[in-house]
Structure 1
Amino acid sequence: MILVETPRRKLVTQLVNWGHWFTLLNIVIAIIIAAIYILNSPAPGTPLGTLYLFTNWFSHIGFLTFFGFVILILPMCYWVQNAKVVKVTASVTAAIALALLAFDALLYNKYGVHLSFGSANLIRDEAQTALAEFGWQQWGFLFLLFVVWLSFQLIVANALWKRIERLQKRKLGLPITTFFVTCFVASHAMHVWADANLYQPIVRQDDMFPLSYPAKAKTLLAKYNLLDIEDYQQRKELQFNQNITGIAYPSEPIYCPVDSANKVAILILMDGDLPASLPGLMRVENNFGVNSSTDNAISSVVYGLPELYHNALKGYTPILFDLPQTQGLNVSVYLNKESNKDASWSDFKQSWQDFKLGLNSGTSNLSVGFIDSEQLTELLAQNVVNEYKIMLSTFANNTNFSQSLMTNFSVNHSISNREDLAPTALRLLGCNAPAKAYSTGTSLTHANTSDYVVSTKGNRVMLFTPTNRFEVLSNGNVRAYDLQTGEEVFNQVDVNLLSQAIKKLSRFSAKQKN
């Protein structure tokens, strides 16, 4: 018995084969468009994170495009008997879908959100503004652009249709399918592992692409008792994003007067520790400093913010300098080494002779000097100690991160750190604006409401209490050390305290792209 393929069956086979090749071409185009998401997102920073990025990029965009084919185009290949209608409909659908993908990519680039009901109000407001500015030329250009794009899809659809038999002989279906399936499985497997370990280079990519719902360790591993859910929840609560690309500095407007009669000096000794005693100065206990470089230490002093924000702060003038100067006070800064190249406050820098003269003569209201031991001796004349409110500290790198601090005024903090110096200076100058608007520190002249200080060093959150130092890694793991011995201890971690400290650190982070 000879079975002859009917014309209808032959047409369906050709349409389905054509649909697969048409979809493959549009997958490639969609992947190219999706590169916009990657180019406008922080780099993973690790080989594993980069591997996940590429596997997720190819597999997720490929899956979305193929899913669109299965839902919208494949049924037509069986139901519609006119090949031309199928090709035209598929071309229009592909042109609209890829245009929406490009629009979503541009929306993500500008606002860090995807097309969704949640972003509808933002899109509506932006559309109203854009439409109000559009003339007939802009509308004509957009229409022409879409016509060109649609024409490209129609040309491609017809070209593939004419060559479908030749393409089928290449037998590329299996290797292409294997590649995308391998990327899909690998990306989800890596994400399950990363989610279980809160591995930031992978986890922070969760919302990079639209309609992305990667497999989670909580739902997969915990179901089979392969994950300690309590430990996971604790680490997830302490998870911290170290990649700050935007900053709200200050976090709110600052309105406060300063008194021209007040004089403040911040002196940082950069080549050793302070003498055991200095005339007129008192030593402050439990003061800490955390920075991975001299530049970061300097920035922590002048901005009153931890290392986490220093890259984002480039170009911002420190409130410590800007606020007094705009109200007519004389501000002078001296660096004994040109280690900090931040041009945003270079206008405040002075030569050693000018800085010393301003301090000794009392003509400078705020003097911030990063000096050596010999220069310290020249500055601490009795008239300076009597006339200025002085904060004298060091950049010494001790194993327990303690920093020597001496003042000639009463300190009401049981524990303090380097970020407290800027708000203290502004308070001493007469500014009563809340320090939380521009610093993670607080004024040393006011009683602190918490018994800890928090800062960052590299990818670690550093929290100090009077007895312990806690280090929180980016994946939420916590290690505790005794301040006296420096040895690791295994005390019960106060998750609420650490979570509160992390929220305090995050206060100046502008809304980031997800």
Structure 2
Amino acid sequence: MNKNISHSNQISFLINWGHRYTAFNIIYSLLIALLYFYANPLPNTSIGIIYFFVSWLGYFSFFCFLFYIIFVFPFTFVIKYSRVFRIYTIFISSLALTFQFVDVNYFNLYKEHFSLFTMFQEPNNTISIHYLLIFPILIIINTLTSQWLWNKTKIKTKKNRKLTFSIFMFLLSCFLISNIIFAWADATLEKSVTMQRNSFPLAAPLTAKDLLIKSGFLKENQYKLSKLYEKHVEKVSKISNFKYPKNNITYSPKGNNLNILLLDIRGLNNKDLADIHQYPYLSLFSKENMFFKNTYVASNNLQKSIFSLFYGLTPNYYSEIDNSKIQSVLFDTLKKFNYKINFFLSSPSKADDYYRIILNNKNIKSFHVKTDSENPSTYTDVIKWLDSNDSSSSPWFTYISFEFKSDIDSKFQQILNRLDLQKTIVIVTNSDVPFVNDSTNIDNLKTPLTIHWPGIHDTKFTFRDSNLYSITPTILSKLFEITNPLSSFSSGCDLFDSCTNNYPIFTASTSNIYLIFKDKFIMLDEKANYYAFDKNSYLNVQETENPDFDLLDVSFDKYNSFFKKINNQNDK
């Protein structure tokens, strides 16, 4: 800089240069911040999308300008030499952008923002040292930017000030508008906006809940329910935090490997099993064996219900399993002990619901899909397969899915006659229970479950509440004697044990979540509306107006136990 220039003009020149340099760093920061969008899918509402982009533009612009005010602007008056000032500014701005680049990659990997606290809390969360190579690259980019701006910068005129002020006001408006939108969304429980709370580092969006609750515009209980529900949904959506099973599986198997037949009859209900005149063999089978009359289906979505049946998990984990292609502990165990695994389906229209499970489990080699009208039919294939394997020394696991028709009882008789019941576990149930989304009749969520288990005929537990996602842990714990705690690989329990921690039983429709307890059941819809019903009268209980938040929080934590805990103050 010219030595003859006055000190005041030098200061003005450096401030003008600093503004322009900061403007370019805002652009660089916004470009890096685009990578945060990989971990945050675009919302499905207009207001969510608007907030998505306005907050991106306003947040990083505001923090870059704040960074300039705190770490650059004061040194305009302190550092006498312009070259030293520029070197300092290049270094510290490149360091800040490097930290942002590291954070965005850490966030995409672990869904948490990078800090010393997270490093100590989660020592297994590491990030490649190669990301630090961005620092010299940013030094070069900022040096070239600095030099180019230095040559272009002039003493600020009124026209320059107007342009700078207009840009500043636009970016400030974006920041303020994003906070206003979030405050409104937080008050009106607009999840497409509030779920973006933690998208950016150091973010603390404006909320106005206390004022709105005091003024009567917002119900405190409804707000708390929404926050609790949102916390549950946010955990479920974080794929990288999912771990199944929690630990390596260890076994202490018995010498006698029993065959397993799982007969899934779509449309079968408890009344049918009680009809001894219409369905004598099915009815007699349920009476002579262990009939769990208070069994609940996992979901009214067949695909998720089948998933829960074979994985022993509640349906909220379906997306994580499907995305990560993790194999079921059940099928891994069957393969380990040389079981032949076979699937027989009599409805091709339902086959797609099974294919997703099959694709994740490469141990399933035999998969037969035919209609009942085909010749030979699925039933014929089943009989043929059972006859050919009657004398086989290798144990087998066979899943058969039939539609509930008038000839189902005779088919069941023929299958049963071909089994050695001293060496075969037989499970009869129905995983396809399409109950309505807003059902307040708990009986609509029930499904039949009858189990024949050689050497076990204890009916003292058959009258308590049970669920289909407990079938898998029962097989694994009783037949293969897995030594791991059931909670390390399943949401269910051992059906032949006391299952004192079984409650609540978790059932989901496409829009509602049901939590079933010993004397009541709770329904939460997608807007976090809360309904509590007595199990016997189906009438609303007093708790509907005063929810037990501690009970709900513990229940949700239990069924999100396969997601890694995240320490986040915003969840409090």
The structure-2 alpha-carbon separation of the partners of 1:504 and 1:358, relative to structure 1 and needing over 3 Å to count, comes to farther
Among 307, 319, 339, the residue aligned to 1:311: 319
- Which position in structure 1 is the counterpart of 2:153? 164
TM norm structure 2: 0.76
Q: Which amino acid aligns with 1:285?
A: K
Q: Alignment length, in residue pairs? A: 499
Bigger drift between 347-356 and 14-23 goes to: 347-356
Distance 1:459 1:367 in 2: 33
- Which position in structure 1 is the counterpart of 2:439? none
Verify the 8 A CA contact 2:249 2:482 in the aligned structure 1: no
The structure-2 alpha-carbon separation of the partners of 1:237 and 1:130, relative to structure 1 and needing over 3 Å to count, comes to closer
- Which position in structure 1 is the counterpart of 2:411? 378
The structure-2 alpha-carbon separation of the partners of 1:267 and 1:346, relative to structure 1 and needing over 3 Å to count, comes to farther
Structure 2 runs not aligned, ≥5 long: 277-281, 369-377, 437-443
- The question of 1:470 aligning with 2:522 is answered yes
Verify the 8 A CA contact 1:52 1:190 in the aligned structure 2: yes
For residues 316-371 of structure 1, give each alpha carbon's deviation from its aligned partner in whole angstroms, at most 9, with x where no partner exists.
22122221320233333333332222312254233345644455655554322222
Bigger drift between 459-468 and 162-171 goes to: 162-171
How much has 1:39 moved relative to structure 2?
Answer: 1.5
Verify the 8 A CA contact 1:252 1:437 in the aligned structure 2: yes
How much has 1:58 moved relative to structure 2?
Answer: 1.5
- The question of 1:393 aligning with 2:429 is answered yes
User: What's the secondary structure of 1:268's corresponding residue?
Assistant: strand
Distance 2:189 2:108 in 1: 25
- Which position in structure 2 is the counterpart of 1:135? none
Verify the 8 A CA contact 2:265 2:402 in the aligned structure 1: yes
- Which position in structure 1 is the counterpart of 2:367? 350
Q: Which amino acid aligns with 2:497?
A: H
For residues 413-447 of structure 1, give each alpha carbon's deviation from its aligned partner in whole angstroms, at most 9, with x where no partner exists.
51112212222333452425433222111122222
How much has 1:257 moved relative to structure 2?
Answer: 3.5
The structure-2 alpha-carbon separation of the partners of 1:159 and 1:10, relative to structure 1 and needing over 3 Å to count, comes to same
User: What's the secondary structure of 1:397's corresponding residue?
Assistant: coil
- Which position in structure 2 is the counterpart of 1:40? 39
Q: Which amino acid aligns with 2:445?
A: F
For residues 138-187 of structure 1, give each alpha carbon's deviation from its aligned partner in whole angstroms, at most 9, with x where no partner exists.
89x94xx6455323322322322333349963643343223222221222
For residues 205-233 of structure 1, give each alpha carbon's deviation from its aligned partner in whole angstroms, at most 9, with x where no partner exists.
33322221222345654576765546544
| Aligned-CA RMSD value | 3.5
Distance 1:186 1:96 in 2: 29
Verify the 8 A CA contact 1:308 1:457 in the aligned structure 2: no
Verify the 8 A CA contact 1:195 1:203 in the aligned structure 2: yes
How much has 1:130 moved relative to structure 2?
Answer: 6.5
How much has 1:198 moved relative to structure 2?
Answer: 4.9
Structure 1 runs not aligned, ≥5 long: 1-5, 132-137
How much has 1:301 moved relative to structure 2?
Answer: 1.0
- Which position in structure 1 is the counterpart of 2:232? 240
Distance 2:539 2:172 in 1: 48
User: What's the secondary structure of 2:138's corresponding residue?
Assistant: helix
Bigger drift between 206-215 and 348-357 goes to: 348-357
> What are the residue-to-residue correspondences of 1:5-404 with 2, within 5 Å?
7-121=6-120, 142=133, 146-165=135-154, 169=159, 171-218=162-209, 221=212, 227-229=218-220, 232-233=223-224, 235-237=226-228, 239-241=231-233, 242-246=236-240, 247-259=242-254, 260-271=256-267, 273=269, 274-275=272-273, 276-277=275-276, 278=282, 279-282=284-287, 283-314=291-322, 315-336=325-346, 337=348, 338-339=351-352, 340-342=354-356, 343-345=359-361, 347-348=363-364, 349-351=366-368, 352=378, 355-359=382-386, 362=390, 363=392, 364-373=395-404, 377-381=410-414, 382-383=416-417, 384=419, 386-387=421-422, 388-394=424-430, 395-399=432-436, 400-404=444-448
How much has 1:77 moved relative to structure 2?
Answer: 2.6
Distance 2:125 2:523 in 1: 43
Q: Which amino acid aligns with 1:44?
A: P
- Which position in structure 2 is the counterpart of 1:134? none
Verify the 8 A CA contact 1:269 1:371 in the aligned structure 2: yes
Verify the 8 A CA contact 2:61 2:171 in the aligned structure 1: yes
User: What's the secondary structure of 1:208's corresponding residue?
Assistant: coil
TM norm structure 1: 0.84
The structure-2 alpha-carbon separation of the partners of 1:490 and 1:173, relative to structure 1 and needing over 3 Å to count, comes to farther
Distance 2:36 2:567 in 1: 10
User: What's the secondary structure of 1:498's corresponding residue?
Assistant: helix
For residues 449-493 of structure 1, give each alpha carbon's deviation from its aligned partner in whole angstroms, at most 9, with x where no partner exists.
145411333454321235543223466542234556767665443
Q: Which amino acid aligns with 1:280?
A: F
Distance 1:155 1:494 in 2: 60
Verify the 8 A CA contact 2:261 2:426 in the aligned structure 1: yes
User: What's the secondary structure of 2:331's corresponding residue?
Assistant: helix
